[in-house]
Amino acid sequence: MTTFQRARSEENREIRRRTILDTAAQMLSQMPANDITLNELSRRSQLAKSAILRYFESREAVLLELLDRAWKQWNTEVAEQLAADIDATRPAQRRGTELAATLTRTLAQQPQLCDLLSAQAGVLEHNVSADVASRYKKAAFANVAALAELTRTQLPELGETADQLCAQIIMVTGAVWTHARPSTSMLAAYDANPELAKLRMSFTPTLENMLTTLIAGALTLAVRANEAAG
């Protein structure tokens, strides 16, 4: 491991931060977020653990920043896909089904994002200061708002309902990802009992089904709200 030397310029500090984040991202491609430790991050980044803690107050703070980075990247990519996949001339419910399919497909292509979302509330939001928690939550709200705006572009019928819908989409994605990756013990139980195996979730079809249901329900609520307002 290299001997730590304090970064003397803003440029060097940013290089250190990027090294830490890029190393953690590489680790996420090889293991779940829960298995990443500061010790291993230190070894792979060739920075002392104390050096990492000069830039990030904890392992969770590193992963929260990665989550924000991955989320913003997904929002950018999904914007292009939604524009290509959804036909604005079709009925709202059909466009809602297409929206669910596109969101599911693009999320399935972002395993790191899904893994971080699954660990968000139960793991990543712990062992961080109020400042880091506040900064992350503000970023998360901005990411939800950006996704809601993309959704409203394709389904203007949703109106303000899109914001709550997109928050629910993010929560459901994390939950389905967790359940679609059972423990070794559960896999053994499924193998031993065909009846239990029927309960095993597959990420893509389960998420698409749930998002389709959520979007259809949100459209119905939006129509009722408009009728009541009118």
The per-residue pLDDT for range 119-160, each reduced to its tens digit, is: 999 999 999 999 999 999 999 999 999 999 999 999 999 999
- State percent of the chain over pLDDT 70: 96
Mean pLDDT of the chain: 93
* Positive or negative: CA dihedral 72, 77, 78, 83: positive
pLDDT at res. 31? 94
pLDDT at res. 74? 98
As assigned by CATH, the class of the 1-56 domain is: mainly alpha
Average pLDDT, integer, range 206-223: 96
- Domain boundaries along the sequence of the chain: 1-56, 57-229
Give 25-53 pLDDT, tens digit per residue: 999 999 999 999 999 999 999 999 999 99
One-letter amino acid at 83 equals: A
pLDDT at res. 106? 98
Quote the pTM value.
0.90
CB contact at 8 A, 146 and 210: no
- Give the DSSP H/E element, type plus range, for residue 186: helix 184-192
Q: How confident is the model at residue 5 (pLDDT cuts 50, 70, 90)?
A: low
* CA distances in angstroms from 25 to 54, 104, 117, 162, listed in the order given: 19, 22, 14, 30
CB contact at 8 A, 52 and 120: no
* CA distances in angstroms from 125 to 39, 58, 117, 119, 133, listed in the order given: 20, 11, 11, 9, 7
Radius of gyration of the chain (CA): 20
CATH of domain 57-229: 1.10.357.10
pLDDT at res. 197? 85
